[in-house]
């Protein structure tokens, strides 16, 4: 199993690499938009055409940024996958190997020689590499679209007299800094920013590797039953199954099949962003560790956790806004952006005081360079 802290630490290097990439792309866009000319209604179209002409240069900038990042991501991805397996399987294997020595379960090959584990790691390495490569291509394309959008909206604002050129560029760029560079557009047309998409992908890879390699190792020992961990604040797709015992292969007459749960669904048990863990359960040997939480208590804790995650995102967005405004805006704009950050932080303090939850300052930080 991977504890929440282990998962955070394993995923952090890759998440930070992509977080820095997003910041660097925003800065590259801002740099291309800067001008020493006094832009008015009379010459804003000339500015627009001149900046669009530089789109190829921006494209080269972003390609270079992605290229510099790629070597780092390959190394960190390999480390993530290997460590996710090791930290989740090794403690379980120590216990199961002892039971095998006592004749209570089947013997298994040494962990480092288990072909099931090797094949799983190889599969996840290939899948994750393919996903990140596709994401990089999407980021490149959408960086160009963000650049065009800032130019287009700024031009309209200046031509209609709604804003000065400086205000128009600063405001539009700041909005994109808040939204983030899209890394994925899903089937419903929803845009996922780098900040929102990459952590989900990376943590899902780590969790999936951890869970599947645990299942692989259980198969090697001939263990079918698992107990699912339990924690307050479990999401609706997981809550009904926590603290219970299931049969992975559906052969047990006493315990329900894992296939009868939400297992395999993105928002289901062991799915995306799930923090539950499987433990091998051997009748007559294992002592049941977990019990389900009361429905109302769990639902309340889950709702509060979702509120806190949203407030953390709001703080990060306000900070990203401030970073862009510092580069493009006036002193008044900077002061207003700082005020917005303080307001979001004040909202968080009030929420923490009201609920008694633990504040996660690390989730409110942005990467600066």
Can you give the pLDDT at residue 368? 65
| Residue 105 and residue 283 in contact, taking contact as beta carbons nearer than 8 Å | no
Can you give the pLDDT at residue 177? 86
- In three state form, how does the secondary structure of the chain look? CCCHHHHHHHHHHHHHHHHHHHHHHHHHHHHHHCCCCCCCCCCHHHHHHHHHHCHHHHHHHHHHHHHHHHHHHHHHHHHHHHHHHHHHHHHHHHHHHHHHHCCCCCCCCCHHHCHHHHHHHHHHHHHHHHHHHHHHHHHHHHHHHHHHHHHHHHHHHHHCCCCCHHHHHHHHHHHHHHHCCEEEECCCCCEEEHHHHHHHHHHHHHHHHHHHHHHHHHHHHCCCEEEECCCCCCCCCCHHHCCCEEECCCCCCCCCEHHHCCCCCCCCCCCCCCCCCEEECCCCCCCCCCCCCCHHHHHHHHHHHHHHHHHHHHHHHHHHHHHHHHHHCCHHHHHHHHHHHHHHHHHHHHHHHHHCCCCCHHHHCCCCC
Supply the pTM of this predicted model: 0.84
Give the Cα separation of 21 and 189 in Å (integer).
Answer: 23
Distance of CA 33 to the CA centre of its chain: 30
From first to last of its 369 residues, the chain has per-residue pLDDT tens of: 788 889 889 999 999 999 999 989 998 998 899 888 899 999 999 999 999 999 999 999 999 999 999 989 999 999 999 999 999 999 999 999 999 999 999 999 999 999 999 999 999 999 999 999 999 999 999 999 999 999 999 999 999 999 999 989 999 998 898 889 999 988 888 899 998 899 999 999 999 999 999 999 999 999 999 999 998 889 999 999 999 999 999 999 999 999 999 999 999 999 998 989 999 999 999 988 877 788 888 889 889 999 999 999 999 989 988 888 887 888 888 999 999 999 999 999 999 999 999 999 988 988 765
Can you give the pLDDT at residue 194? 93
Can you give the pLDDT at residue 292? 76
Determine the straight-line distance between the first and last CA of the chain, rounded to whole angstroms: 35
From residue 246, give the alpha-carbon distance in Å to each of 80, 104, 216, 249: 28, 20, 16, 9
Backbone angles phi, psi at 67, to 5 degrees: -65, -45
CA quadruple 234, 204, 277, 9: dihedral positive or negative?
Answer: negative
């Amino acid at each position: 199993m991977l504890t929440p802290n282990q998962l955070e630490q394993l995923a952090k290097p890759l998440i930070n690499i992509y977080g820095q990439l997003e910041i660097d792309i925003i800065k590259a866009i801002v740099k291309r938009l800067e001008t020493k000319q006094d832009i008015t209604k009379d010459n804003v179209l000339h500015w627009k055409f001149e900046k669009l002409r530089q789109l190829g240069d921006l494209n080269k900038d972003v390609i270079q940024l992605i290229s510099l990042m790629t070597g780092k991501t390959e190394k960190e991805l390999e480390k993530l996958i290997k460590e996710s397996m090791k930290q989740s399987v090794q403690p379980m294997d120590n216990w199961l190997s002892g039971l095998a020595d006592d004749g209570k379960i089947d013997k298994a090959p040494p962990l480092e020689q288990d072909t099931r584990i090797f094949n799983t790691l190889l599969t996840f390495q290939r899948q994750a590499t393919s996903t990140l490569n596709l994401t990089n291509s999407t980021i490149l394309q959408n960086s160009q679209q963000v650049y065009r959008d800032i130019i287009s909206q700024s031009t309209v604002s200046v031509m209609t007299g709604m804003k000065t050129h400086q205000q128009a560029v600063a405001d539009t760029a700041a909005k994109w800094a808040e939204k983030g560079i899209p890394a994925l557009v899903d089937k419903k047309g929803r845009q996922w920013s780098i900040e929102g998409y990459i952590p989900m992908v990376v943590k899902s890879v780590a969790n999936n590797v951890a869970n599947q390699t645990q299942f692989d190792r259980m198969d090697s020992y001939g263990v079918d039953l698992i107990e699912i961990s339990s924690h307050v604040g479990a999401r609706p797709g997981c809550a009904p199954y926590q603290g219970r015992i299931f049969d992975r292969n559906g052969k047990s007459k006493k315990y329900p099949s894992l296939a009868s749960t939400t297992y395999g669904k993105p928002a289901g048990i062991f799915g995306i962003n799930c923090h539950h863990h499987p433990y091998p359960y051997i009748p007559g040997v294992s002592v049941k560790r977990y019990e389900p939480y009361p429905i109302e208590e769990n639902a309340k804790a889950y709702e509060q956790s979702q509120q806190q995650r949203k407030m953390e995102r709001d703080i990060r967005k306000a900070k990203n806004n401030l970073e862009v405004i510092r580069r493009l805006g006036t002193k008044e704009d900077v002061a207003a952006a700082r005020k917005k950050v303080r307001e979001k932080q004040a909202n968080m303090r009030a929420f923490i005081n009201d609920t008694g939850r633990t504040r996660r300052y690390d989730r409110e930080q942005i990467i600066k360079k």
